[in-house]
Chains A and B, each alone.
Chain A
């Protein structure tokens, strides 16, 4: 072939050109996904920690601890900030992390489609190293997003929960999760979430470039333990409510 140049499959134009190298490169986008992923994993852990207060009952005055916890979130930062300010900041940050994470995933997915092109294998593939979790990241991500929307409507804003009453976290949870279809939905979504964070937690070390043969077993182990802990914790709540233990 006389041509040394064949036109690139992917081109940089428009916003990619404008944003500049790092934030438009796939490695940069993966880095963004890893950093936002860390934020989201931290949130998931904290969220679970808070939710587990459903098992701690009431204080002497008969207030559910989980309601107090929700109240405390509202007063986060004490008298340093106006009421709800810090929580709003956290919520905005969380929303930004979600948006960036999903945006980067969407851009990368599109690019990967282009890179794969119309040239899929006609015969079936044998997977040698990837696992169910790694192959369902995008699918799982969409499931989690849909669930998240429902979850916000159900327990944050109350649109999907006829008996919702702002501030009564305990009662709202019981009301929502004692409907078995809802409880099943929660359980299924949490299994999807566990798969997603199992691969994500391992993968983020690699995207950030901190992988090292010495720590590789550790990062695998950490991902497994972390995903399992989140799964067990999150499943325990609908199961307990369905079973009437709380």
Chain B
């Protein structure tokens, strides 16, 4: 295979020794920057969601000079805000047998044994500190009557370890990080640039030295230089067009970094979330998630008879198929997301879907309301129920909800070492933008945990290792050719979008791309489908560059122009996703190849040949990327067939 050329084996730089001591030992071994020297360093943080805002705030507290960039008007808008259910931590407050080791084990297993043990252990360790930190910040977590913190259970775990703030946990945690950031902005340690989109990473002599940014309101292109650049720009689920991501979520920052040499790891690991509101019409612009926490009290079912057209409440109990409880008695409705999504997909494929388009399954709260009373259910989920009613015009207290799997989260992202540095020295990726901790499938309530772990507790320590080598060196001046060339690239690209003068809108191409991706690179993938997808993506890409129509100018707010840049990057990333999916001849977590499944349709891993991370190197548009690998060692968790039965 031609992508074997130039391939190398990557090392994560993770420490060795007993896993409990690795993070401690590593921190001790890491070079420190003394407090008086910290102010001599400039650090750029791109993206101010959970990971970015917490990192920028913490770096500012430590004394670094931080510049933070967000394309939103305020750091409080990032899509972390939409996370509903909660955040995991190994506190074991409910006394149900939880521990750091169990959280570590559940996360490795939930990720279908495709993540790095040392990273995941570290994540489990700092999870407790995150709860302490955010509580002290004033995050109003749910409490018991005694005044102490309440926990609930979540998919993929048999203990209650999820802390939550009604159905708005992501919002509250993001606001905590945003407020910490605001405090640093007011203290002058962080300079915040809002409505500013990063469009290029600047690399000189193999190191990341800065970024090029477009002011979205004036169109001005500016360069910013620093000793290190941190990307905290989120995931790429919007490659599917219809996803639970916010409209502006995009891969541009990580893709531009990839094109400058950062390896892209496991792009095919995408998560399809089982509980979203089904699509209702063709103009739909996004899919709305209903928190996984609903599966705590809701029961999922479809009618036994595919031709049953009765309203759900008229179908007697014994003519309903509670298929998750039937197939996975141990975990029941709380199986991990990939398992639940595929099970729903199987039901819909068997023509047993419900609703007008037969594209959903029921999530029923009748028995929970009978058992706990309507009041308790209201207290737990009222905001979700209201949201559902607003969108569908159906009252879920009376009629079962209809849910459907939808693209939600991307486990893949820029490859990073144990220090969260990408393959480009000085360039870091944190939060959903990196690939690190979730393997091939993320468990519920773990995204918030990872974003904050990276931002508050990992990056601020590990970045010192790199920075200490550049003490008393100035950042590369922005007059340098590396910057002016990058600015020219950005300007030319924008002018090109405006000058194509074709006939179709950006959304048209995005929608077309999404259809191809969801069909061939969604819940189930096949060799034939992926090969077809690659050809189709190339066709759409060619049409995009010859038939795009973007009106207006580049010197003021131009939302079509912004989207054009993002979709152009998706059109390249999509191809890489398909190539990775094609390359990975196994099924694991969110990556399900129909050729590799057990007799009862479960994912069949190939640990012998695929227990590694694929990290792809850019070689140019249309040219096959080069695959590097990082072998995964499992010393503390025995590889086994995941079972939730």
A and B touch in the complex (CB under 8 A): yes
Task: Please list the residues of chain A having a beta carbon within 8 angstroms of any beta carbon in chain B.
Answer: 1-2, 4
Minimal Cβ-Cβ distance residue in A for B216 = A1
B77 proximal to A (CB < 8 A): no
| A159 CA to B149 CA, complexed, in Å | 73
B40 proximal to A (CB < 8 A): no
Interface magnitude class on chain B: 10 to 19
Q: Which 5 residue pairs of A and B lie closest in terms of their CB atoms, listed nearest first?
A: A1-B195, A2-B193, A4-B192, A1-B194, A1-B217
A44 CB, nearest partner CB in chain B, Å: 44
Q: A1-B194, A2-B193, A2-B222 are in contact. List 7 more A-B contacts (CB 8 A).
A: A1-B193, A1-B195, A1-B215, A1-B217, A2-B196, A4-B185, A4-B192
B191 proximal to A (CB < 8 A): yes
Q: Are B215 and A2 in contact (CB under 8 A)?
A: yes
Minimal Cβ-Cβ distance residue in A for B190 = A4
Q: Can you report 16 residue pairs joining A to B where beta carbons are below 8 Å apart?
A: A1-B193, A1-B194, A1-B195, A1-B196, A1-B215, A1-B217, A1-B218, A2-B193, A2-B196, A2-B215, A2-B222, A4-B185, A4-B191, A4-B192, A4-B193, A4-B194
Task: Please list the residues of chain B having a beta carbon within 8 angstroms of any beta carbon in chain A.
Answer: 185, 191-196, 215, 217-218, 222
B83 CB, nearest partner CB in chain A, Å: 27
List, in ascending order, chain A residues with CB within 8 A of B218's CB. 1
List, in ascending order, chain B residues with CB within 8 A of A4's CB. 185, 191-194
| A2 CA to B192 CA, complexed, in Å | 7
| A2 CA to B70 CA, complexed, in Å | 10
| A2 CA to B224 CA, complexed, in Å | 11
| A59 CA to B577 CA, complexed, in Å | 102
List, in ascending order, chain B residues with CB within 8 A of A1's CB. 193-196, 215, 217-218
| A4 CA to B194 CA, complexed, in Å | 8
| A4 CA to B75 CA, complexed, in Å | 12
| A4 CA to B182 CA, complexed, in Å | 11
List, in ascending order, chain B residues with CB within 8 A of A2's CB. 193, 196, 215, 222
List, in ascending order, chain A residues with CB within 8 A of B217's CB. 1
| A1 CA to B222 CA, complexed, in Å | 11
List, in ascending order, chain A residues with CB within 8 A of B222's CB. 2
List, in ascending order, chain A residues with CB within 8 A of B194's CB. 1, 4
B211 CB, nearest partner CB in chain A, Å: 13
| A4 CA to B195 CA, complexed, in Å | 11
Minimal Cβ-Cβ distance residue in A for B185 = A4
List, in ascending order, chain A residues with CB within 8 A of B215's CB. 1-2
| A4 CA to B192 CA, complexed, in Å | 6
List, in ascending order, chain A residues with CB within 8 A of B196's CB. 1-2
List, in ascending order, chain A residues with CB within 8 A of B192's CB. 4
| A1 CA to B215 CA, complexed, in Å | 6
A3 CB, nearest partner CB in chain B, Å: 9
| A115 CA to B104 CA, complexed, in Å | 54
| A1 CA to B218 CA, complexed, in Å | 8
A5 CB, nearest partner CB in chain B, Å: 10
Minimal Cβ-Cβ distance residue in A for B193 = A2
| A1 CA to B193 CA, complexed, in Å | 6
Minimal Cβ-Cβ distance residue in B for A4 = B192
B76 CB, nearest partner CB in chain A, Å: 14
Minimal Cβ-Cβ distance residue in A for B195 = A1
| A4 CA to B185 CA, complexed, in Å | 9
